[in-house]
Structure 1
Amino acid sequence: MKELRDRVAVITGAASGIGLGLAERCAREGMRVVLADVEEEALRRAGAELEAAGARVLCVRTDVSRAKEVEELAKRTLSTFGAVHLVCNNAGVAAGGLAWEATSEDWDWVLGVNLWGVIHGVRTFVPLMLEQGSEGHVVNTASMAGLLPFHPSAPYQVSKYGVVALTEQLHGSLRMQGAKVGASVLCPGWVRTRILDAVRNRPGGPPPPPVEPPTPAQAAMNAFFRKEVEAGLSPAQVADQVISAVREQRLYVVTHPEMMGDVRSRMEALLAS
């Protein structure tokens, strides 16, 4: 999909971070933009800023872990703009830790947003896009954690591996059908977002602090993550890469190629098994 002007983009997790970067870039391309996010006040602010810059915007408060709310997002999009051409299933959260220590609530929340949110987006929007018969594209946000051999948060890594697999399957299925709709999976490394503060939107509020203080190793890892996120790419830089991938019909969008050495090591170990 090379021509974006006057097309309609739907972006989840659009009130901040990569989602907001995508919304701003789509608006600059002359697209009509639908912003969806669970954080209502931030969503209103983001929409107002884009409108002040001259964009045509629709804001829909959406919990992507709930299929009915994603379906309502699609209905609102069609009733307002009449079509949808670009869908960025971008909403994401991070929580949990070791596979045997993460709580069932951690697993439910992270998989509900990161994986089921993308599944709901695909199941809801792709049939609409195919029925339109026009060019379109789906971008699903995974992570380098969906490609690497290890990430310290089991729920997060499982969810992101799932998004990679889902998008690969979607891409192949659309190509087999000769569809005019393409698919890309975004696998970002360190990006300046609020992903480490995602508990602000956790259902029921943040969990109580642990009884035991973090071990020195845990504290060091937390500090490392904070430092890397703060020094990461800007959401605008990531959005630039996504739009290029949409125009070029590229399946994989890897923002940090310097991290691919670990991916190569994983694949070499697999091939050698």
Structure 2
Amino acid sequence: MQNLEQRVAVITGAASGFGREFARLGAREGMKLVLADVQQDGLDAIRAELVSSGAEVETCLCDVRKAEQVQALADAAMARFGAVHLVFNNAGVGSGGLVWENSVADWEWVLGVNLWGVIHGVRTFTPLMLKLAAQDSDYEGHIVNTASMAGLLNAPTMGVYNVSKHAVVSLSETLYQDLDLVDAPIGASVLCPYFVPTGISESHRNRPDELRNASRPTASQQVAQMMSQKAVSSGKVSAEAVAEMTFDAIRQNRFYIYSHPQALDNVRTRMEDVLEGRNPSDPYAAAPQVRELLQSKLKGHA
């Protein structure tokens, strides 16, 4: 997709982080925007900002864990603009801790947003976009699913998040192949950012009451939260820069989008482990102080 002006973009998780930057960049490109999030105040703020700049914006309070709410998002986009060209299945949350210490509520929340949100986005918007393409020989579309480098790696104390993002990578690769199989004029990309200041380490602020844990966080969950906040907040690549990378990938019809290509060395090591049948390599081989910190914090708690 080269020309984005007057195209319609649907963005989940649009009130903060990558979603907000996708919306800002889309507005600068002259796109019509349908913005979704569970955080009403954040939605209101980005809508006011973009409308004041002249953009056409529709907002929708949407919990992507719920199929009916994603369908309502699609209905709102069609009712307002009559088309959808770009879909950013971007909403995401984080959670950590030793994998056996995560509760059912932890799994349901993280998989509900990170994985089921993308599933609902793909199964709702892809048929709609195919229908639009059948009606217009000039139609072009693109779907971007936000995964993570955690979808290609398996760092300790990130099990729930790792699982959700690996599944998004798999879903996205399959979507790409399936669209190609039917010669659809719809591209697909998967965004795999590393540590970028987006606010995801504070995503528990939007955790629904029915999926909150009654007990206090375990020692491993506390240290995972601390390390996540430090890593994310100290990230040198901005969410705005990642949005620009993503729009470049859309124009080039490029599938994999990496914010930190240097992290692919760790992915290469992991794949060599798989191909050679050797045990998983130490993810902290280049930074043993991180392992030492983790172990010191967890000593006596495992």
Q: What is the CA-CA distance between 1:164 and the residue it aligns to?
A: 0.1
1:263 is aligned, of 218, 243, 267, to: 267
Which residue identity is paired with 1:171? Answer: Y
The answer as to whether partners of 1:97 and 1:154 remain within 8 angstroms in 2 is yes
The residue that corresponds to 2:142 in the other structure is 137
The percentage of counterpart residues that share the same residue type is: 50
Structure 1 SS opposite 2:34: strand
2:216 is aligned, of 198, 210, 216, to: 210
State whether structure 2 residue 166 is matched by structure 1 residue 161: yes
Q: Distance in 1 between matches of 2:96 and 2:223?
A: 17
Which residue identity is paired with 1:128? Answer: L
State whether structure 2 residue 234 is matched by structure 1 residue 228: no
The answer as to whether partners of 1:149 and 1:263 remain within 8 angstroms in 2 is no
The residue that corresponds to 2:50 in the other structure is 50
Q: Distance in 1 between matches of 2:15 and 2:140?
A: 26
Which residue identity is paired with 2:193? Answer: P
State whether structure 2 residue 195 is matched by structure 1 residue 196: no
Q: Distance in 1 between matches of 2:82 and 2:9?
A: 12
The answer as to whether partners of 2:158 and 2:224 remain within 8 angstroms in 1 is no
Aligned length: 270
The residue that corresponds to 1:242 in the other structure is 246
Compare CA radii of gyration and give the structure with the larger one.
Answer: 2
1:173-218 per-residue CA deviation (whole Å, 9 max, x = no partner) reads 1011111001000000011111111111111075456276x37xx7
Q: Distance in 2 between matches of 1:219 and 1:106?
A: 14
The answer as to whether partners of 1:27 and 1:50 remain within 8 angstroms in 2 is yes
Given the superposition, is the C-alpha separation of residues 209 and 192 from structure 1 closer, same or farther in structure 2, using an over 3 Å criterion?
farther
Q: What is the CA-CA distance between 1:242 and the residue it aligns to?
A: 0.4
TM-score of the superposed pair, with normalisation by structure 1: 0.95
Q: Distance in 1 between matches of 2:243 and 2:217?
A: 40
The residue that corresponds to 1:121 in the other structure is 121
Which residue identity is paired with 2:109? Answer: W
Structure 1 SS opposite 2:171: helix
The answer as to whether partners of 1:190 and 1:228 remain within 8 angstroms in 2 is yes
The residue that corresponds to 2:157 in the other structure is 152
Q: What is the CA-CA distance between 1:27 and the residue it aligns to?
A: 0.7
Q: Distance in 2 between matches of 1:169 and 1:27?
A: 30
Q: What is the CA-CA distance between 1:2 and the residue it aligns to?
A: 1.1
The residue that corresponds to 1:187 in the other structure is 192
Q: Distance in 1 between matches of 2:118 and 2:75?
A: 17
TM-score of the superposed pair, with normalisation by structure 2: 0.86
Counterparts in 2 of 1:88-107, with a 5 A limit?
88-107=88-107
Which residue identity is paired with 1:54? Answer: G
Which residue identity is paired with 2:103? Answer: T
